[in-house]
Amino acid sequence: MRSFVSTALALGLFLLTGFGALHSEELSIRITSSRDVYSLIGDWRFKAGDNTAYREPAFDDSSWDYMFLPQNWHRTGLNYDGIAWYRTRFYVSPEFRDTVLGIVLPLREGWHEVYVNGIRIDQGSSLDLTPGNSHATRGVMIALPSQYIRYKQENTIAIRMKSYGGVGGFITRTMFMGDLFKIERRYSLKLMWNMVLVTLFVLNGLTHFVTFLTRRGEIHYLYFAIFSMAIGFIVASLDNLTQFLWDSFYFQHLSVHIPLFLAPILLVEFAHSFFGTRGKVVRILFGSLGSAFAVTVFVSCLSASGYGIYIRYILPGLLAFCFCAIGYCLTLTILSIRSRIFTARIVGLGFLIFGIASVNDILSYLQIIHTPNVLDEGFLCFVISMSVSLSLKFSRLQSDLSALNARLHSNLRALQSARNSVSESEARYRDLVESSNDIIFSLDSSGLILMMNQAVGQHLGIPPQDLIGQEFLAMIYHSGESRNSLARHTVRQKLRELIESRSEVVFRTDFFTRTREPRELLVKLQFIANKQGYTIAGTAAVEQEDELLALCTAERQVYVFGNYVYLADSISQRLFAGLSKYLDHDEAYSLKVCLREMIINAIEHGNLGISFDEKTEAQNEGTYFSLLISRQTDAVYSARQVTLVYSLTSKRAVFRITDQGDGFNHAEIMERDIRRPEFFNLMHGRGIAMARTEFDTVKFNKKGNSVVLIKAFRTTEQSG
């Protein structure tokens, strides 16, 4: 590990200090054999500026600077936007008089004109007439007719190039000349091979994407699939293959640089997911930087100046971002190797091959060595190593799964014996359920009764088998012919609350007995999730008296609640418990009914603004509860609340019920003769008449939205 780091640092120092000093001699090509293809990579004469004389072979360019090609001139430190010239010389043996020569130029960062001995040989339009957005041009092969060549003499190649956004020159490395047939064959074979490489990248990615669709839990398959296809797009763009899809600069530019900021993010995500390492901060950092680079890539397409800024300043940072991602993932791989993760060694071998290919291309580019470019092949080996690692990991998982199945079969016998124990436990549970004094039941998601224990016969006098398969709401008491009672409305709301909150709900309600009389029970419901959805488990029992309440001689309480009528039952029941200490059961129950009616009045007529006529019409049409729900959810009424202040002593009970409504004309109602029977036979509206009968004092405020109810208790002396 230490030697590897030392070597990498030495190579980096060499590249930083020696890059500009390695080239100082002009490239000169001598074409003497038809069997050879001659490289145009090397030092060319370079001049920023424009002059028609620069194309002429007799022009003296000895004062021009040297520039090593291929590269763009910004990379040499020249921030120049305009036209520039490249020149070099070549010698052709007379044996080529009957041979057509050719020149292959790579992807270029600007429009161009190519001259041989002062004569233009390419077929492009005039550079001066070229639109401003006709910058990056694809690799091209140009025929060099024999009539333009001077045999036994030096010939001059001059390339006139126009930059875009201050960036001009060459991008890729394919620069050579020779027999047109041979270079055409070599160029075509190179394209075919590159197409094979791109196909391998894309197919590899698609294969693992399909694997991900069958193994959704293993996200590293998706990261690797997109990463492999992103590398394929980069290779296709740099090797001129995207021109077959769309010969456009914008498409060329985006097909290179979009994968360039995606690949590092995907590589980091893959490494963390594949090796199972933590690094949330690092992943967020890489994701944020990648998103920032993504913005600059798209902005660079908007103008020439934006493109120039991107190439000059942003692209080096993006490349550094890529190298940081590779270095970081290499570190994770080495750590995983040290942790004895067996697949990490395969990935490490891929890193090694990719590193050797990168060093080879750098040294070949600097002409220190003369070997073919194998960076694409090195990257393919790196991607294949990752693919092999995924396959090995999958194979290991399959082996582990087989071993697990073997252990599972061995455990089946133990499970069989355990099943017998479970059956015994179920029998004991059944005994406990059936022997309980509380009603125990379960409901399905549609509210049908699935199970009911024998205690229902004790409390309601109904056999449990008569209730199985029936609706739970059918057990809820209602008076008269109307089945849509307030009690059933309360139960529906409680069931909805249970399903939405999935928390236990508790409420009181009246059930039908066998004699069709009501009996109030305390109900508890619980939500139980299962594979089919959910079931509801419940109990219904007689509420136990509060022992401490019997010791309380005086109390004062304040209740503030929303517009839900079922709360009237709960609150009136609580107040009934206090009144029962000083009144007999029937008298206390009458006060409970009165309080319930007055609370409902405060909700319906006060807060919700439902008039007497509106309620009458809704009850006749069977739409009362729809009206109630619509008002409860209306923004005008939903925020209103009812306040009940309750004070109890041994001498009297005082209740103040206040709503936030607009009030009503209470004087007219308070002046009516409460002895007239029609006030007690109405479907609704009898609450005030009942209260005037049962309470000693019933007093409204001026507005009519607050009422005070007072009940005095008879003392021992008074009763004597």
* Tens-place pLDDT, residues 117-161: 999 988 766 776 655 545 556 678 888 888 889 988 899 999 998
Q: Is the per-residue pLDDT at 516 higher than 60? A: yes
Contact 234, 216 (CB under 8 A): no
Q: Is the per-residue pLDDT at 363 higher than 60? A: yes
Q: Which residues of 16-40 are buried (b: 16+ CB within 10 A; e: fewer)?
A: eeeeeeebeebbebebeeeeebbbb
pLDDT tens by residue, 204-257:
889 888 888 888 778 888 988 898 888 888 888 777 677 677 767 777 778 888
pLDDT tens by residue, 627-640:
888 888 888 898 99
Q: Is the per-residue pLDDT at 446 higher than 80? A: yes
**CATH-assigned architecture of domain 189-399:** Up-down Bundle (1.20)
The end-to-end CA distance of the chain, in Å, is 106
Average the pLDDT over 538-562 and give the result: 79
- The pLDDT of residue 425: 65
Q: Is the per-residue pLDDT at 258 higher than 60? A: yes
pLDDT over 90 percentage in the chain? 19
Average the pLDDT over 564-578 and give the result: 81
Q: Is the per-residue pLDDT at 400 higher than 80? A: no
Q: Using a CB cutoff of 8 Å and minimum separation of 24, what contacts does 714-718 make? A: 715/650, 715/651
**Could you tell me the two tokens for 511?**
């059930």
- The pLDDT of residue 362: 66
3-state secondary structure of 715: coil
Mean pLDDT of the chain: 81
Average the pLDDT over 528-551 and give the result: 79
- The pLDDT of residue 88: 93
Distance, in Å, from the CA atom of 430 to the CA atom of 417, rounded to the nearest integer, reads 20
CATH topology of domain 547-719: Heat Shock Protein 90 (3.30.565)
Residue 22: pLDDT band (50, 70, 90) is: very low
Q: Is the per-residue pLDDT at 683 higher than 60? A: no
- Give the single-character DSSP code of 500: H
Q: Is the per-residue pLDDT at 86 higher than 90? A: yes
| Closest listed residue to residue 666, CA positions, set 687, 643, 696 | 687
Distance, in Å, from the CA atom of 45 to the CA atom of 76, rounded to the nearest integer, reads 14
Residue 11: pLDDT band (50, 70, 90) is: very low
- The pLDDT of residue 3: 31
Give Cβ neighbours of residue 410 (< 8 Å, ≥ 6 apart): none
Contact 46, 27 (CB under 8 A): no
Q: Which helix (H) or strand (E) holds 632?
A: helix 624-633
Q: Taking the CA of residue 622 as centre, how many other CA atoms within 13 Å lie in the half-sphere pointing to its CB?
A: 4
Average the pLDDT over 404-421 and give the result: 73
CATH, domain 439-541, list 3.30.70.600, 3.30.450.20, 3.40.50.2300, 2.30.40.10: 3.30.450.20
**Could you tell me the two tokens for 14?**
């060499």
Average the pLDDT over 444-473 and give the result: 89
3-state secondary structure of 618: helix
- Cis ω before 145 (30° cut-off from 0): no
pLDDT tens by residue, 474-489:
888 876 655 566 778 8
Domain boundaries, the chain: 25-186, 189-399, 439-541, 547-719
Average the pLDDT over 348-357 and give the result: 85
Distance, in Å, from the CA atom of 394 to the CA atom of 403, rounded to the nearest integer, reads 14
- The pLDDT of residue 526: 93
pLDDT tens by residue, 611-668:
888 888 887 887 887 888 888 888 889 899 999 999 999 899 999 999 999 988 888 7
Residue 549: pLDDT band (50, 70, 90) is: low
3-state secondary structure of 545: coil
- The pLDDT of residue 232: 85
Residue for token pair 């418990």 = 577
- The pLDDT of residue 385: 86
| Closest listed residue to residue 114, CA positions, set 238, 105, 166 | 105
- The pLDDT of residue 442: 92
Distance, in Å, from the CA atom of 120 to the CA atom of 106, rounded to the nearest integer, reads 18
- The pLDDT of residue 544: 64
**Which is more confidently placed, 385 or 393?**
385
- Please tell me if the domain spanning 25-186 has the same topology as the one spanning 439-541: no
Contact 632, 638 (CB under 8 A): yes
| Closest listed residue to residue 595, CA positions, set 577, 610, 616, 582 | 577
Distance, in Å, from the CA atom of 668 to the CA atom of 432, rounded to the nearest integer, reads 60
Instruction: Please return the burial class of 65, using the count of CB atoms within 10 Å of its CB with bins 0-12, 13-18 and 19+.
Output: middle
Q: Is the per-residue pLDDT at 691 higher than 80? A: yes
Total-model pTM: 0.50
CA-based torsion, 386, 387, 392, 394: positive or negative: positive
- The pLDDT of residue 55: 93
Average the pLDDT over 277-306 and give the result: 87
Give Cβ neighbours of residue 234 (< 8 Å, ≥ 6 apart): 255, 256, 259, 260, 263
Q: Name the range with the highest mean pLDDT among 139-143, 165-169, 208-212, 525-529.
A: 525-529
**Which is more confidently placed, 401 or 81?**
81
Around Cβ 516, how many Cβ atoms within 10 Å?
A: 8
CATH topology of domain 25-186: Jelly Rolls (2.60.120)
Give Cβ neighbours of residue 343 (< 8 Å, ≥ 6 apart): 274, 389, 390, 392, 393, 396
Distance, in Å, from the CA atom of 45 to the CA atom of 59, rounded to the nearest integer, reads 12
Distance, in Å, from the CA atom of 555 to the CA atom of 549, rounded to the nearest integer, reads 10
- The pLDDT of residue 680: 47
Give Cβ neighbours of residue 648 (< 8 Å, ≥ 6 apart): 554, 555, 556, 578, 579, 654
